[in-house]
């Protein structure tokens, strides 16, 4: 399927080249961008500031350089196959945490990708049953991401994100709490699990009164 896409500055992609399937939210690998725009077109776009390279090997339109979805897509392209948005970034993708300029991704053991400014790379075993696709982006399932945040993240942020998740789930809140508790209990790395269990007990299962029409 061909796509008529007008690039920043009015540059038109090579009509003989398909828009790369790996492109998401404007982010592309350097090689795909060269195929689409031509080496000279990409070089000119970068020189004119119409395209930027947030991390080595990936480019995005400058107008979308701070868009969270574009940055998340670019991070996955940089991290490579089987990578997944994780931790605070995954929680934010689910709508249960703040969006940050720093993008967290997890890659499988055996791959070597270094962290860069605003890109934090973790290594772990990745099970596909713990991965969901949100807006075309591989993301840790909410219960998995919350568990990781409770064990290893900032304590205040972890509690806030957990309470947001519980508040959004309504009648399913307690089932979700139990699911997270089970993940904590089975976690191989026991660091932070005691703290996570304590936070699970502290978290509100329902939206706080001040969030419903204000305090009376």
Written as tens digits, the pLDDT of the chain (216 aa) is 233 343 544 455 554 456 677 788 999 999 999 999 999 999 999 999 999 999 999 999 999 999 999 999 999 999 999 999 999 999 999 999 999 999 999 999 988 899 999 999 999 999 999 999 999 999 999 999 999 999 999 999 999 999 999 999 988 999 999 999 999 999 988 999 999 999 999 998 555 444 433 333
How does strand 119-123 pair with strand 103-107? parallel
CA atoms lying within 13 Å on the CB side of residue 188 = 2
Q: What is the pTM of this model?
A: 0.85
Task: Show Cβ contacts of residue 42 under 8 Å, excluding neighbours closer than 6 positions.
Answer: 30, 33, 34, 51, 59
């Amino acid at each position: 399927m061909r796509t008529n896409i007008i690039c920043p500055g009015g540059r038109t992609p090579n009509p003989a080249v398909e828009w790369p399937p790996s492109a998401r939210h404007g982010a592309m690998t350097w090689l795909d961008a060269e195929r689409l725009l031509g080496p000279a077109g990409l070089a000119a776009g970068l020189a004119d500031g119409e395209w930027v390279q947030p991390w080595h090997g990936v480019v995005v339109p400058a107008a979308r350089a701070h868009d969270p979805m574009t940055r998340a897509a670019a991070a996955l392209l940089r991290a490579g196959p089987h990578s997944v948005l994780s931790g605070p970034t995954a929680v934010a993708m689910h709508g249960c945490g703040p969006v940050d300029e720093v993008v967290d991704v997890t890659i499988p053991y055996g791959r070597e990708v270094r962290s860069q400014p605003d890109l934090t790379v973790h290594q772990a075993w990745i099970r596909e049953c713990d991965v969901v696709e949100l807006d075309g982006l591989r993301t840790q399932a909410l219960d998995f991401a919350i568990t990781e945040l409770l064990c290893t993240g900032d304590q205040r942020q972890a509690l806030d994100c957990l309470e947001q998740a519980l508040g959004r789930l309504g009648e399913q809140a307690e089932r979700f709490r139990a699911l997270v508790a089970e993940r904590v209990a089975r976690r191989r790395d026991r660091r932070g699990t005691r703290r996570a269990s304590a936070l699970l007990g502290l978290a509100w299962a329902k939206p706080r009164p001040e969030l419903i029409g204000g305090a009376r």
